[in-house]
Amino acid sequence: MIAVEFADATLALGGRTVLSGISFALGEGEFVGVLGPNGSGKTTLMRAILGLVRPSRGAIQVLGRPAARGSAAIGYVPQVRSTATSRLSGRDVVAAAASGHRWGLPVLGPSARHDVDRVLDLVGATALAARPLADLSGGERQRVLLAQALLGRPRLLLLDEPLISLDPNHQRGVVELVRRVQRALGITVLFSAHELNPLLGALGRVLYLGSGHAALGTVEEVITGPVLSRLYGSEIEVVRLGSRIFVMAGDHDVERDPHRHEDHAHAHHHAGS
């Protein structure tokens, strides 16, 4: 079955076309890396799958139905997180999501308590979830937020740049954890990042966005000079050194640019990116 399908879909924000007439299909059980230059539409694409951005043209199908808000079949870890300074414990943050509460501590029934226990165990966060979220490292916090997204047994998991501000060791840990969870549950994962290398051991295909267009395929099919030159709108060279891949414009590594969140007009600079 097809998990996500865009059919000649155009997405616009504030009158600006972000993605124009893109078409692709992702199968159930795939692990897909969503990549692209700053402002290419990675967050907008995920928000469209969530039904939060409606296409101005074309259609978006998610798990056999038109994309719509509030689908319990989709788990989502957004890029902008208001929970980073929370004094609530990791468990309470997950429990609040289980009940639909944003503020205050809910009283959960046995079924919801079991689901909270299940997802914390699934991501190896049972012990650390007793600590305040603000006291956790970036990698530990990502475990809790991933647990939160897995409540209710979603079939599709969207992760919007979960590696931002993490050091390479924690990046590897998050990617390996998501890959393990994805295999255990048989779910579809869309994992956006601004650098390909941390995902290389996990992803099956790459969805690369740029200049309003999209290219979907294996790393060997998509991460090439001609394909990326078209998506960046400038001459790109792909350099392979051992097990790493670098996307270069002249002597400049374009994937290591300061990162801008495309849903905002101003630049965000993220430490460690």
Give pTM, 2 decimals. 0.89
Residue 118's identity, in one-letter code, is R
User: Is the pLDDT reported for residue 266 higher than 70?
Assistant: no
Could you read off the pLDDT of 63-117 as tens digits, one per residue?
Answer: 999 999 999 999 999 986 655 567 889 998 898 888 665 545 566 788 888 999 9
Name which residue leads in pLDDT, 176 or 133: 176
CA distance 271 to 273: 6
C-alpha atoms less than 13 angstroms from C-alpha of 165 in its C-beta half-sphere: 15
Which pLDDT score, from 0 to 100, does residue 247 have?
93
Percent of the chain whose predicted confidence (pLDDT) is above 70: 88
CA distance 108 to 49: 29
**Contact between residue 260 and residue 38 where contact means Cβ atoms under 8 Å apart:** yes
CATH number at 1-73+154-273: 3.40.50.300
Residue 21 pLDDT level (bands cut at 50, 70, 90): very high
Which pLDDT score, from 0 to 100, does residue 108 have?
78
Backbone dihedral angles phi then psi of residue 199, each to the nearest 5 degrees? -95, -10
* Residue ranges covered by each domain of the chain: 1-73+154-273, 84-153
Which pLDDT score, from 0 to 100, does residue 220 have?
95
Residue 165 pLDDT level (bands cut at 50, 70, 90): confident
Residue 160's identity, in one-letter code, is D
Could you read off the pLDDT of 199-250 as tens digits, one per residue?
Answer: 999 999 999 999 999 999 999 999 999 999 999 989 999 999 998 999 998 8
Which pLDDT score, from 0 to 100, does residue 85 have?
62
Q: Is the dihedral of CA 253, 256, 146, 9 positive or negative?
A: negative
Which pLDDT score, from 0 to 100, does residue 100 have?
63
Closest CA to 125 of 101, 94, 153: 94
Which pLDDT score, from 0 to 100, does residue 134 have?
87
Mean pLDDT of the residues in the chain: 88
What 3 state SS string does the chain have? CEEEEEEEEEEEECCEEEEEEEEEEEECCCEEEEECCCCCCHHHHHHHHCCCCCCCEEEEEECCEECCCCCCCEEEECCCCCCCCCCCEHHHHHHHHHHCCCCCCCCCCHHHHHHHHHHHHHCCCCCHHHCEHHHCCHHHHHHHHHHHHCCCCCCEEEEECCCCCCCHHHHHHHHHHHHHHHHHHCCEEEEECCCCHHHCCCCCEEEEEECCEEEEECHHHHCCHHHHHHHHCCCCEEEEECCEEEEEECCEEHHHCCCCCCCCCCCCCCCCC
How much is the average pLDDT of 248-267?
A: 60
Which pLDDT score, from 0 to 100, does residue 262 have?
39
Residue 134's identity, in one-letter code, is A
Percent of the chain whose predicted confidence (pLDDT) is above 90: 70
Name which residue leads in pLDDT, 271 or 183: 183
